[in-house]
Amino acid sequence: MKKIVNDIEDPRKDIFSALSCGRRIRILEIMKDKEVCGCDLIPILQIDQSAVSRHLSILKRVGLVESRKQGVKVYYRIANPRIFELLSLASEIIKEREKKLLEKLK
């Protein structure tokens, strides 16, 4: 029998909350196959250093990324590559929804 979890205490909400920002999803995609210095994300995302740091902090807090410091630079990597399975599943759900909407329009 599955345990019923009160939605207020459900830890999954933190991961979905972290994924609710397109920039954070983009950061994960950039890191998919490589470790990235936080400073390298500034020109890619075209946002300032404090915004990049805030996004990385959120991703790190929920366990989606890990970091290591080398001198003054901080490098980030994906903590668990299974996050891309979740993102892929979300893409499939969106495609199915769009397909159903198109069928209704016919």
Q: Which amino acid is at 46?
A: Q
**The length of the chain, given as a count of residues:** 106
Rounded to whole angstroms, how far apart are CA atoms 70 and 76? 11
Q: Whole-prediction pTM value?
A: 0.85
Exposure string (b/e) for 20-46, b if CB count within 10 Å is 16 or more?
eeeebbebbeebeeeebebeebeeeee
Model pLDDT, residue 105: 84
Per-residue pLDDT tens listing for the chain (106 residues): 666 656 578 889 999 999 999 999 999 999 999 999 999 999 999 999 999 999 999 999 999 999 999 999 999 999 999 999 999 999 999 999 999 888 888 7
Model pLDDT, residue 3: 66
Domain 12-80, CATH number (from 3.50.50.60, 3.30.465.10, 1.10.10.10, 1.10.3720.10): 1.10.10.10
Rounded to whole angstroms, how far apart are CA atoms 102 and 36? 39
